[in-house]
Homo-oligomer: A and B are copies of this chain.
Amino acid sequence: MAEGGPQTRRSTPATLHDVAREAGVSLATASRSLNGSVRKVNEEYRERVLAAAAKLGYTPNLSAQAVARGTSTTVALLVADIADPYFSSIAAGVVGAAGDDRLIVTMAETKRDAERELELVRAMRGQRPRVMILSGSRTIGDPNAVALEAELTAYEQTGGRAVFISESDLPFRTLPLANRSGARDLAVELHGLGYRRFAALTGPETLRTTHDRVAGFAEGLASVGIRVPDDRLVRTAFTRDGGYDGMRRFIEAGLGDTQVVFALNDVMAMGAMSAMRDAGLEPGRDLAVAGFDDIPTVRDVTPRLTSVRMPLERIGEQALRLALDDEADAASARAASADVSTEVVIRESTPRVEA
Contacts and interface: CB of A to CB of B under 8 A. Distances in A.
Interface of A: 1, 8-13, 57, 59-64, 66-67, 70, 72, 74, 81-83, 85, 88-89, 91-92, 95-96, 99, 102, 104-109, 122-128, 153-154, 157-159, 240, 270-271, 273-274, 277, 296-297, 299-302, 313, 329-330
15 contacts: A1-B330, A10-B157, A12-B70, A12-B158, A59-B122, A63-B127, A82-B92, A88-B91, A91-B107, A99-B109, A102-B123, A106-B106, A271-B300, A277-B302, A300-B301
A213 B184 CA distance: 47
Nearest to A83: B92
**Across the A-B interface, the 5 shortest Cβ-Cβ residue pairs:** A88-B88, A302-B302, A83-B92, A63-B63, A63-B66
Contacts of A271: 300
A60 B126 contact: yes
A122 B329 CA distance: 36
A157 B125 contact: no
Contacts of A106: 74, 104-107
Contacts of A83: 85, 88-89, 91-92, 296, 313
Nearest to A106: B106
B157 A9 contact: yes
B126 A62 contact: yes
Contact of A158 (B13, B125, B153): B13
B95 A107 contact: yes
Contacts of A302: 277, 301-302
Contacts of A330: 1
A153 B70 CA distance: 31
Given A59-B125, A82-B82, A301-B301, 20 more contacts: A8-B153, A8-B157, A9-B157, A12-B159, A59-B122, A60-B126, A61-B126, A63-B64, A63-B67, A63-B128, A82-B88, A83-B89, A91-B107, A96-B109, A105-B106, A106-B106, A107-B107, A240-B296, A271-B300, A300-B301
Contacts of A102: 123
A221 to B, nearest CB: 27
Nearest to A8: B157
A130 to B, nearest CB: 12
Contacts of A85: 83, 85, 88
A274 B300 contact: yes
A74 B89 CA distance: 23
A26 to B, nearest CB: 21
